[in-house]
Amino acid sequence: MNNLDPEVARDPEHLVVYGGRGKAARSWRDFEAIVAALRGLGEEETLLVQSGKAVGVFPTHADAPRVLIVNAMVVPKWATDDIFWDLEARGLTMYGQMTAGSWIYIGTQGILQGTFETLAALARTEFGAPDLAGRWFLSSGLGEMGGAQPLATTMLGGVALIVDVDPRAIERRLKGRYLDEKAADLDDALEQVQRAVAAREPRSVGLLGNAADVFPEILRRKITPDVVSDQTAAHDLMVGYIPRGYTVEQAAEARRKDPVAYRLGVQASIALEARAILGLRARGAKAFDYGNNFRTQAREAGVADAFDIEGYVPRYIRPLFEVGSGPFRWVALSGEANDIARIDRLLLSEFGQDEHLARWIRLAAEKVKFQGLPARICYMGYGERERFGHRVNDLVRDGELSAPIAIGRDHHDTGSVASPYRETEAMRDGSDAIADWPILNALLNVASGATWVSVHHGGGTGIGNSIHAGLVVVADGTPEADRRLGRTLHNDPGLGVARHADAGYPASLELAARAKFRIPRR
């Protein structure tokens, strides 16, 4: 229900949560059946959900997951866009994205923190600085994922110019305080950006336009941003990227009338934007692909050197994954913001020695507007998540929190995903496409006693390009929950360390040598 809260979901009427067509349930009839099954679920029963459809309640045991979810799995030979979306149109499957179909989406804050981590790592790697003060970032997309870009930039002291073709997206981000200003036109936008950069003043500017028009024009004017990227839902060509020359409404009509011609128009526009990004990169901008399959779409549209734009995981995030660190989140089931504030204080007290983490928590408390149930996210690694889970369970037990806390994470995590164009791109041992790891992750979390566990296909980079797993474990203050929390929050990131140790990363091998789990000798 929280995933489909109007404050959370992109299009709740059609069950779409985020990421193009990522849904929480297959149909409203299926939604009602899932809710009814959950309400009647016993403490030794498990509900099975097959691509957004409840298909059975089975007798299990108290430490088994209450729900097991699998979304969008298709036999590999049939895992193409055309086949999958035909099956979806026939009511046989559902695209679950990542946290849409696993019911732990928390609104834009989820990607906000990931974007904050990425841009902070970029600042350290590219500029030798702790933040983006005096730098500006050009990107496109203000939807469910891209909407995080402006606020993440200003939280790091930088200036953002974000282009979007949908005026409603700009207004929504202004209303939610993710975006500071709306420009009248490109001239106005660039003037605002240059003024803010000169003053080293954090500022974000939204520009109504199409990136396929705006990016080439900025290149033509010989203006070079410090950083450039794209965060449209380009993995889904039919609804995630609007071709140049169309409004959102005109695009909807065009794809209905002639989907083949429409798709060709999308590909041509992506190619124009990609060539502009490569041109800005040649002029000195730091360009990165943010995992939306933009480079693949551009290459298929004829941009042969699209992959000269580096992926953000191998360039910036993999050092975090190597030590079991990733996007960890929790939701106050009470609906009370005070419960999140109390956990914020816990983090600052017990993990405050991590200055980067403390900066995020303070800024999030000040700047993040909750969508739906109050929630928080941060990157936490092996050992830290387990310790955190026990402490939160103590707070529930002692009455310092008014209700249980649901603790989960993004599927985009250290050991839970195989995605050769994103999380597992350019692995040290060449194991980019090996998908055993997310399946092992899900199985291990079931054995550990997570409250619900999910396995999905296609999220983030589109059908045929990824397999990934997610989990949630509930802290209800009981000793039984404490044991489940300890096992799950140790084993889940631990597998990420093991996965990267297996690939030969020195930091992972060093951590694994002193971890609680064991890697058999060979």
Question: Angle at Cα 328 formed by Cα 326 and Cα 330, nearest 5°?
Answer: 175
Output the CA–CA distances (angstroms, integers) from residue 259 to 93, 253, 256, in the order listed.
21, 10, 6
Task: Write the pLDDT tens digit of every residue in 183-193.
Answer: 999 999 999 99
pLDDT tens for each residue of 465-480 = 999 999 999 999 999 9
Percent of the chain at pLDDT > 70 equals 100
> What is the pLDDT at residue 504?
97
- The torsion defined by the Cα of 443, 444, 447 and 448, in degrees rounded to 10, comes to -140
- For 348-402, how does the pLDDT look when each residue is reduced to its tens digit (9 = 90+)? 999 999 998 999 999 999 989 899 999 999 999 999 999 999 999 999 999 999 9
Q: Which of 71, 56, 66, 55 is nearest to 15 (CA)?
A: 71
pLDDT > 80? residue 127: yes
Q: Name residue 54's beta-bridge partners.
A: 49
For residue range 200-217, list pLDDT tens digits in order: 999 999 999 999 999 999
The 10s digit of each residue's pLDDT in 442-468 is 999 999 999 999 999 999 888 999 999
pLDDT value of position 146: 86
What is the set of active-site residues? 378
Residue where the block lists tokens 């193009």: 20
User: Can you say how many angstroms the Cα of residue 283 is from the centroid of all Cα atoms in its chain?
Assistant: 30
Please state the rounded mean pLDDT for residues 307-334. 95
CA distance 231 to 248: 17
Cβ pair 51, 96 in contact under 8 A: yes
Q: Which residues have C-beta within 8 Å of that of residue 123, sequence separation ≥ 6?
A: 129, 130, 131, 132, 135, 156
Angstrom distance (rounded) from CA 190 to CA 196? 10
pLDDT, tens only, 71-100: 999 999 999 999 999 999 999 999 999 999
Percent helix, strand and coil across the chain, each to the nearest 5? 45, 15, 40
Name the pLDDT band for 176 (thresholds 50, 70, 90): confident
138 bridge partner residues: 161, 228
pLDDT for residue 179? 95
Query: Does the pLDDT value for residue 292 go beyond 90?
Result: no
Give the pLDDT of residue 156: 95
Q: Give the pLDDT mean for 485-496.
A: 98
Q: Are 200 and 135 in contact (CB under 8 A)?
A: no
- How much is the pLDDT for 498? 98
Q: Is the pLDDT of residue 145 over 90?
A: no
- pLDDT of 144 reads 76
User: How much is the average pLDDT of 308-329?
Assistant: 95
Question: Residue 219 is inside which H or E element, if any?
Answer: helix 211-220
pLDDT at 460: 86
Per-residue confidence (pLDDT) for residue 475, from 0 to 100: 98
Q: Which two tokens stand for residue 333?
A: 């089931």
**CA angle, 507 as apex, 505 and 510 as ends, to 5°?**
105
Between CA 90 and CA 98 the distance in angstroms is 22
Q: Is CATH 1.20.1250.20 correct for 131-308?
A: no
Supply the pLDDT for residue 293: 86
Amino acid symbol at 468 = H
Query: Is pLDDT at 3 greater than 80 in this prediction?
Result: yes
Would you state the pLDDT for residue 247?
A: 95
Range list of β-strands (E), 34-130? 45-50, 53-59, 67-71
Q: How far apart are CA 202 and CA 151, in angstroms?
A: 9
For residues 19 and 458, the answer to whether their CB atoms sit within 8 Å is: no
Confidence band of 136 (pLDDT split at 50, 70, 90)? very high
> Which residue has tokens 């800024």?
363
Give residue for tokens 């939204």.
206
For the segment 46-52, the average pLDDT, to the nearest whole number, is 98
* Tens-place pLDDT, residues 223-269: 999 999 999 988 788 888 999 999 999 999 999 999 999 999 999 99
Q: 422 and 296 in contact (C-beta within 8 Å)?
A: no
Say how many C-beta atoms besides its own lie within 10 A of residue 495's C-beta: 25
